[in-house]
Amino acid sequence: MISESIYDYSALHASFAKLSKPAKRALLRNGITKPKDLSVWSRQALADLHGIGPSAMPILESALENSGYAFVSSTEESRK
């Protein structure tokens, strides 16, 4: 089991504060620390991450919207 102490939750943007710890860990494991980092992900790809559950998505969507960003469409992501 991985120790909680290896996760630096303080690196996460304040808009992610209400996320569960599993969701925060999923973001940190994937290099997502601020809303702009989410803007290169599609909703589906983010939802597929272990730890990102249905209650996390509205928080993440709000963080994106409030920062002026949006998820990429699945079509755009598949072209990469």
The whole model's pTM is what? 0.85
pLDDT value of position 4: 59
pLDDT digits (tens, 9 = 90+) for 58-71: 999 999 999 999 99
Q: What is the spatial distance between Cα 74 and Cα 78, in angstroms, rounded to a whole number?
A: 6
pLDDT at 76 over 90: no
pLDDT of residue 6: 86
The pLDDT assigned to 20 comes to 97
Average pLDDT, the chain: 90
- Which fold is adopted by the domain 20-78? DNA polymerase; domain 1 (1.10.150)
